Each structure stands twice: as structure tokens, then as C-alpha cells.
A = this chain, B = another copy of it.
Amino acid sequence: MELFELAAADPAVRFSPNCWRTRLALDHKQLPYDTIAWHFTEKDRIARSGQGKVPVLVDGDAVIHDSWVIACHLEDRHPDRPSLFGPGSGRALARFVNQWVSEVVHPALSRVLVPDIAELVAACDRDYFRSSREAALGTSLDALRSQRDAAIATLRAVLQPLRSTLQGQTFVSGSTPLYADIVAFAAFQWARICLPGDAALLAADDPLRAWLRRMDDAFPQAAQAPGVRERF
């Protein structure tokens, strides 16, 4: 399988949270894959997927986009490998966590990280990234940068349901990490790669830190990937 992943100016650094979902899903299912560095402006290289965003997974004849669709594809195509969802309502409920992370956590994190991502992206992507993000967020990157402390406070508040859930159980999915943990952890991978060294995303005593350490233990390849720092 080949996974097209968003790459930074340093092509070994892969910061996209949606791409991390797919990479972690492949690791969880213990499936071998090659990753291909891709940049925002290289739409032509993934045109056969019928759209312009990564992750794009090439699995034989299938060219699949959208991290959720890819997760379902991997689960259904490789039922003999460790399950991403488990039995019963596992897939349906993981979908809710997926949507909460995509629609609540990612937007809140964007307002923290986007000014720093602008420094991280490849030269060919720089103008595209700035203009598309300023249009999407309705403000300039400089204005966002000056509001980072407030954006971090908002993010910490937004994470409360995840925090309180993990105060009573080992993983979001129970005793072992499944896809719901992966989508939440993927957002933190994004943050720990993009956030400058002087900023802390979580309070020092945030109970989420213990879960993040457990996720690092469960996914050592992710914890040690290029550009990934220990801190959150």
C-alpha cells in the first residue's frame, strides 16, 4: 500500500492530523505501507483519487481518500488483522468521536497552530497556505499569532469531555486503544510537531497527559517519528 501524506519543508516531517489517523490505523492493523511525501499544491499527483486532499491510500486497484473511509476500508479488507473498532457499536460510536475531533478539536487547534504551520510548510506551499487559511479563519496569521494564549485556553476547555472520560478509564475505547483513541491522538501528534518549544498545549497537571503517555507506549513509531517532540 502507498500512503500520500502531507509533508513539511523537511519532507520527513508529516504533520497533518488526518494523515496521522491513517498512519496510526495502518500501524494498529500491523499492515506494511510506504509513505509518499506530498505538498498542498501538488493536486495533480493525487488527481486519480477524484479530489485534492490527503490522506490518499493506494491499495492495489483502489485509490481511497478521507481518513474515515480509509479506516473502514482497512477494517473490512483485513478482518484478520487487529480490529480498529471491535464488535457491536464500536464502529458507530467511534464515528461520533471522529466527528467531534474533526468538527470541534481540529478547529480549536487550528487557531493555535496555523501561524506556526505557515513557517513549517514547504516553500511551494507557503503562499497557498497563508491565503487559504486566512480566508478560512477570517483573520490574518499575525492576528492569530497574537491571540495564541487565548486560543490555547479555548482548546483546553473544548477537550473537557475527553479529559473527564479518561479520568475513569485507561483509553477512550476502554482497556486497549482503538480507532477512537487514534483520531484523538492524531490531533495531538499535529500539535506536538507544529507547536513552538515555548508553548505548552496542556496544563502541567492535565490528566490527559497520562493517556498521551500510554498512547506513546502503544504507538512507538508515531512517538519517535521525525519532528515529533516529547512535550504537549
Contact = CB atoms under 8 A, between A and B. Distances in A.
Contacts of A161: 96, 99-100, 103-104
How many copies of this chain sit in the oligomeric assembly? 2
Nearest to A104: B161
A210 to B, nearest CB: 16
A222 to B, nearest CB: 20
Contacts of A85: 88-89
A172 B91 CA distance: 10
A119 to B, nearest CB: 31
A76 to B, nearest CB: 15
Interface residues of A, number: 31
Contact of A89 (B95, B164, B173): B173
A43 B150 CA distance: 40
A93 interface: yes
Given A89-B86, A90-B90, A160-B103, A96 B174 contact: no
A109 interface: no
Contacts of A171: 92
A121 B178 CA distance: 44
Interface in A9-61: none
A74 interface: no
A88 B82 CA distance: 13
A96 B180 contact: yes
A175 to B, nearest CB: 8
A173 B93 CA distance: 6
A88 B90 CA distance: 7
Nearest to A179: B89
Interface in A87-119: 87-97, 99-100, 103-104
Interface of A: 85-97, 99-100, 103-104, 160-162, 164-165, 168-169, 171-175, 178, 180
Query: Nearest 4 CB-CB pairs, A to B?
Result: A86-B88, A92-B174, A93-B93, A89-B173
Given A92-B173, A96-B161, 19 more contacts: A85-B88, A86-B89, A88-B90, A89-B178, A91-B174, A92-B165, A92-B169, A92-B171, A93-B180, A95-B165, A96-B162, A96-B165, A96-B172, A99-B161, A99-B165, A103-B160, A103-B161, A103-B164, A104-B161
